[in-house]
Structure 1
Amino acid sequence: MKKQNILFNLDDTLAYCNKYFSLVINEFADQMMAWFDSIKEEEIKQKQLQLDVAAISEYGLKSERFPESFVGTYKYFCDLTGREKKTDEIQFLRELGFKVFEIPVEPIPNMNETLLRLKEDGHELYLHTGGDEANQRRKITQLELTTFFEHRIFISEHKDTTALSNILKTIKADPHVTWMVGNSLRTDIVPALKMDIHAIYIPAENEWTYNMVDVNVEHSSTFITINSLNEVPDVIDKSIQEQMM
């Protein structure tokens, strides 16, 4: 069997992520509605999402960006309604936003079994995750992912085609035997297809709007959508067999 290079995304591919953000955003919206009785939950969530996504181009996927979207939303509605901005309320919202980074991570079903099978099949496994170093390392440690990835871990604050290109150069990857596995069309799949490596898309149960984009990329590589993580080894095996025919 020909050895493949397989890059995995972390958040919502190997471990749950967005559902924790949704829980904290719900807490935020509840608190905001208690302070602003004339504003609807959907208005609050839309403004928070707008500010959060808009900040990515400048700040990337740093953890601080998310709590600041709470603060920005609060200030926006204070200006809109004439409510006084209070330092203690701003601090409360910042601390609420940071709570999401303290929640213990939970692996996606069959994470260990999938990675173990690929490792035992002789493939080279890499982790390519977006976020800041401290928070992503926390998750990697909790999930004991160095068992499978060892030192082959890349953390990008700006997870895009440039970041992926730099990784592929670093590992000297042959695109014909290199795969990207992830749930984000924006940061996993589109960059992979632009670099003409194979891509396996696993839609998340609870997806972040930012990750959803149209895939209009010319490529000669394989692009497959599957329903669950444990299908990855069979997809890889089938592709290898087809290449050998």
Structure 2
Amino acid sequence: MADSRIRMIGFDADDTLWRSQDYFDQAQLDFERIVGGYVDLRDARLHERLYEIEKRNIGIFGYGVKGMVLSMIEAAVEITGERISAADLHRIVELGKDLLRHPVEMLPGIPEAVAQIAAEFEVVLITKGDLFHQEAKVRQCGLADLFQRIEIVSEKDTQTYARLLRVFDLPAQRFVMIGNSLRSDIAPVLALGGWGIHIPYHTTWAHENEAEIAADAPRLRRVDQAADLPQAVRELAKVAAA
């Protein structure tokens, strides 16, 4: 019989280990204030139009701050009918620089939870986004030494997880992924036969909510705080071993 015991735990990074979306949300508000000097925001559907452009550009720019800023510039030019000034375009670029410079702020209880889990299982970090930015955050977070591997990928889908599991030489049923995004952290791993622990964040980019998973999915657990993660992992490990 194949060994079904849990061996490895994967962690997402942004909004699982440290704050991220809060800063993107603030940049969005600042962007809307800039463009609001040219158009009536109530008529412009600015939030929706920016998301449409960002989503359309993911395949070109990828995820992260730089792709967001390029999409903001495109949206600003389009929505203002090319009337936006060079000075205001420069302000949009500065929004991106501020995001890239922002220090890493760990979420409450995360360092302790990761350390506890790492004492019992192999742990890996799997995150997506801009390579330079993600590498910088990993360096600053203070947890890098706990992870056996750190993988920064361009997309987190079933193909990516399947490739990583081959690299780890690990069947999906022995892998648990922890993250805040149902679309990127949970659904692909469940689809491969793995396990997931969803730890929701209070704000999530709309793109990451595009997944349908039954709340009672048998290989899924949900926790509301980092302190509950070690016990949730142990419970899944017990179920898997049985």
Q: Same fold by TM (over 0.5)?
A: yes
Corresponding residue number in structure 2 for 1:142: 140
1:168 aligned residue (149, 159, 165) = 165
Is the contact made by 2:77 and 2:83 (CA closer than 8 Å) also made in structure 1? no
Is the contact made by 2:11 and 2:179 (CA closer than 8 Å) also made in structure 1? yes
Q: Identity of aligned pairs, percent?
A: 22
Is the contact made by 2:35 and 2:80 (CA closer than 8 Å) also made in structure 1? no
Give, in whole Å, the separation in 2 of the partners of 1:242 and 1:44: 47
List runs of 5+ in structure 1 lacking aligned partners: none
The offset of 1:243, in angstroms, is 4.3
**Cα distance change, pair 205–216 in 1 and its aligned pair in 2 (3 A):** closer
Is the contact made by 1:13 and 1:183 (CA closer than 8 Å) also made in structure 2? yes
The offset of 1:3, in angstroms, is 5.7
Corresponding residue number in structure 2 for 1:132: 130
Q: Deviations over 1:99-129 (max 9, x none)?
A: 21211121111111001111222x0000000
Give, in whole Å, the separation in 1 of the partners of 2:178 and 2:43: 34
TM-score (norm 1): 0.88
Secondary structure of 1:55's counterpart equals helix
The offset of 1:237, in angstroms, is 1.4
Match of 1:208, as an amino acid?
A: W
Corresponding residue number in structure 1 for 2:115: 116
The offset of 1:145, in angstroms, is 2.1
Corresponding residue number in structure 1 for 2:150: 153
1:9 aligned residue (12, 36, 54) = 12
Give, in whole Å, the separation in 2 of the partners of 1:20 and 1:193: 29
TM-score (norm 2): 0.89
Corresponding residue number in structure 1 for 2:86: 87
1:60 aligned residue (59, 62, 74) = 62
Corresponding residue number in structure 2 for 1:236: 233
**Cα distance change, pair 204–120 in 1 and its aligned pair in 2 (3 A):** same
1:26-37 matched pairs, under 5 angstroms:
26-33=29-36, 35-37=37-39
Give, in whole Å, the separation in 2 of the partners of 1:114 and 1:231: 8
Corresponding residue number in structure 1 for 2:25: 22
Is structure 2 residue 221 aligned with structure 1 residue 224? Answer: yes
Give, in whole Å, the separation in 2 of the partners of 1:161 and 1:70: 29
Give, in whole Å, the separation in 2 of the partners of 1:42 and 1:131: 28
1:189 aligned residue (186, 192, 203) = 186
Q: Deviations over 1:185-233 (max 9, x none)?
A: 111111111211101111111111110023259xx96111221222121
Alignment length (residue pairs): 236
Which 4+ residue blocks in structure 1 deviate beyond 6 angstroms? none
